[in-house]
Chains A and B, each alone.
Chain A
Amino acid sequence: GESVGLHLPTLSVQEGDNSIINCAYSNSASDYFIWYKQESGKGPQFIIDIRSNMDKRQGQRVTVLLNKTVKHLSLQIAATQPGDSAVYFCAESLPGGTALIFGKGTTLSVSS
């Protein structure tokens, strides 16, 4: 698998590898976090979310980890597939807030 400790704008992996995409969020008061996947020419697609009272949440092939101490969020994708190729964005929301604050995206490229 391949992981990055800091946010990188691009990540290239081989099919079958595990991918880790990192995000530093901006506000320590944020209590809700979401990962979106955006394919070219399409809108953001919900992948997984997590609230600040949790450190980890798992979905199908995806896991989100939250480290509130350093304001860090990561998305792990197991057994990455070519269809996972897209731009991935993290987003945060403040308590009682409504608007999402988006982080910088990471372009994931999966080669066969």
Chain B
Amino acid sequence: NAGVMQNPRHLVRRRGQEARLRCSPMKGHSHVYWYRQLPEEGLKFMVYLQKENIIDESGMPKERFSAEFPKEGPSILRIQQVVRGDSAAYFCASQALGETQYFGPGTRLLVL
């Protein structure tokens, strides 16, 4: 049973470009969370999704960030017009209802 998969593992973008981060949950998990981690800090919640629904986006910046979890395919975290402050590690976690969240390996985004 494969774990949570994320790609790409590393992503370099220039300021103003778009970044797309993908997350495939563990088999049987229908809940996906995105977290952001800045260097030397803990993870900060961004958004919680179920298939085709955003359940909680209270941690998501109001502008430039969006997330989706379509009926088919991976969850996508999209950052438009990236700025240097977006440089961070972005982690996806998946969960079966009522169970523990399991994390993927993360995508390290570097904005030049």
Contacts and interface: CB of A to CB of B under 8 A. Distances in A.
B56 A98 contact: yes
Interface string A43-79: 1111001000000000000000000000000000000
A56 to B, nearest CB: 18
Interface residues of A, number: 18
Contacts of A99: 33, 45, 48, 56, 58-59
B112 interface: no
A102 B55 CA distance: 20
A104 B38 CA distance: 12
B106 A100 contact: no
Interface stretch (B11-19, B71-79, B95-103): B95-103
Contacts of B43: 44, 89, 91, 100, 102
A91 B102 CA distance: 13
A101 interface: yes
Interface string A19-59: 00000000000000010100000111110010000000000
A98 B33 contact: yes
Nearest to A98: B48
A103 interface: yes
A43 B101 contact: no
A87 B58 CA distance: 27
Contacts of B93: 100
B64 interface: no
A89 B100 contact: no
Interface of B: 4, 6, 31, 33, 35, 41-45, 48, 55-56, 58-59, 91, 93, 100-106
9 contacts: A43-B6, A43-B103, A44-B91, A44-B103, A49-B100, A91-B43, A98-B31, A98-B33, A103-B42
